[in-house]
Structure 1
């Protein structure tokens, strides 16, 4: 059974805009469809996670002093087989709430696993422009996004508060399913390969400093 985390990219619970927490409907739809396919799924809601007012990532703490919220989520990220990233669009880019949350953890926790990009809007574009930016971001984290994406325009009309499709549920499920099916396929393939060979032996994580990324210079 594959294990997935569905990250909700919104920490706002107020209006305007209305309706509030529109992304939660989209995230719930993803959870339901993945579970219907036999996966184990957990929704990660930024509102349920207490983060420090001053940004300090998980890996910057001494091991004995990591806040419980960060330690728990780090374990979940490490144990997952793949991720669904649900985001609205802010200035043609991904949600700052989603980027803020994901940036608390080093790429070695996400690496060698697939991700799926899901965007939404109350208007007609479905957050598609944010998805372009998200591909680069997720690739840098190491959880490469699958090729198919989900964009939900006018999400308040497409989904009710429980994440159920208001009309044409079979067509919507098929549309979501193309992306989530790719995610599941790659997650299973990556999990099998991780059992065969530890990916961190092939490509060790950077543990010391950013200069570990640098090519050797003639002065070394």
Structure 2
């Protein structure tokens, strides 16, 4: 099992405090994936030099895409599933996460599952962003599993390294994350078997012309 954790924040300053709260949540995800024996990598938008002005990976001629964009495209292509970690902005997902994901066509994500993990410094845990993320990720091709993780007041739950702060109920938090990730593993394994069997050819992705989506 090879999974990518996408960190949906690129702001490395205060306020808010603490800075990059999402990094704690992503490390908590990594900790639970590791405990389950899954291989995983974290994709941090601060470590990727995206093209400016915006140009998606599939718009470059073969061999002409920036190396970092090409490398990430290959990591997305070979992953079995994805964990999307996002705060909430105006009842929507993180602009940093949406901007990063929009650089890649749905054919790289298609026929693989995703898990939604949201957080906040306040009481809602990013739950309203998760509703928006279901539509976005479904359109991207990596259908989200039904269980989700929402972490309110994440700064009071996780240490900087992703471990639980003293006094937090480890069994309850670990079980909460594991419920979502168990669904992710189940669907990722099922999708991987189906892709390997090749029993049904996957239709081509819509890449060039919006009219490809039109009814006859």
TM class by smaller structure: over 0.9
1:206 to partner: Cα distance:
2.3
Q: Is the 8 A contact 2:109 2:140 kept in 1?
A: yes
Aligned partner of residue 64 in structure 1, secondary structure: coil
Q: Is the 8 A contact 2:80 2:192 kept in 1?
A: yes
In the alignment, which residue of structure 2 is the partner of 1:72? 71
- What is the RMSD of the two structures over their aligned residues, measured on CA atoms? 1.0
1:204 to partner: Cα distance:
2.1
1:198 to partner: Cα distance:
6.3
The separation in 2 between residues aligned to 1:177 and 1:72, in whole angstroms, is: 29
1:165 to partner: Cα distance:
1.2
Superposed structure 1 runs of 4+ greater than 3 Å apart: none
Summarize the alignment of residues 172-183 of structure 1 with structure 2, pairs less than 5 Å apart: 172-183=173-184
Aligned partner of residue 164 in structure 2, secondary structure: coil
Structure 1, residues 28-49: CA drift from partner, whole Å, max 9, x if none?
0111111111111000000000
1:214 to partner: Cα distance:
1.1
In the superposition, the TM-score normalised over structure 2's length comes to: 0.97
Aligned partner of residue 6 in structure 1, secondary structure: strand
Aligned partner of residue 125 in structure 1, secondary structure: coil
In the alignment, which residue of structure 1 is the partner of 2:203? 203
Greater mean deviation of Cα atoms: 202-211 or 47-56: 202-211
Equivalenced residues, count: 214
Q: Is the 8 A contact 2:105 2:207 kept in 1?
A: no
Residues 191, 68 of structure 1: CA spacing in aligned structure 2 closer, same or farther, 3 A cutoff? same
Any gaps of 5 or more consecutive residues in structure 1?
A: none
In the alignment, which residue of structure 2 is the partner of 1:125? 124
Summarize the alignment of residues 86-105 of structure 1 with structure 2, pairs less than 5 Å apart: 86-105=85-104
In the alignment, which residue of structure 1 is the partner of 2:5? 6
The separation in 2 between residues aligned to 1:31 and 1:61, in whole angstroms, is: 32
Structure 1, residues 90-145: CA drift from partner, whole Å, max 9, x if none?
00000000000000000000000000000000000000000000000000001000
